[in-house]
Structure 1
Amino acid sequence: MLVAMEEKEMNGQKPKREDFAHLEGRGISISEAAERYGIPFSTMQRWVAQGWIQILRPGSRGKAYEINEADVAYMAALYHAVPGKRRGKRIRPRD
């Protein structure tokens, strides 16, 4: 399920964006990403809308758009690093 969340047990440290550089530019659909990384579809859509996940290829004529898997893996690692219920909790560091 969590390809990136094998994350070599981050040893209690917060994941870094660089940890997922090997996935940079690899396209994945939102539904596939949600399933693979264990993130609710609506959460994934919100992250895309907020610009936290880059769109690599816009969808057209019923085709799903592709998002950057490196961004997805990083956000998923942050999401899963927060213990317990995540609703309303900030998972992404302030810029």
Structure 2
Amino acid sequence: MEDSLGREQAVGLHQALERASIGHRRLWVRYLYLGGTADELEVSAYLHQCLDLPARERDLLSWAANTLLDRRYHQRVPSSADLLRHGTGRGTPERTA
């Protein structure tokens, strides 16, 4: 994975899922419901930092995870825009239509 922003999102997402005991399949199903287009294998590869995904797909995964996380106990997963706004992302934002 070459995109540092994407890598940062993948690590944060993977950690949030682990802390909350949310499986990759459950995330993927919610992601599809929200309009995601990557298949289950691509999502798994992304979560293990083996595949880059476009910012739109990464943000849909973050959104899906956030809808599954219990707000009282788990930190939210940031979107690309959140990471760029707070200066933690080191990449250039990708354009999304």
Asked if TM exceeds 0.5, the reply is no
TM-score by length of 2: 0.31
Work out which of the two has the higher radius of gyration on C-alpha atoms and give 1 or 2: 1
| Larger relative helix fraction | 2
More strand by share: 1
| Greater RCO, 1 or 2 (C-alpha within 8 Å, sep 6+) | 2
Q: TM-score, normalised by structure 1?
A: 0.31
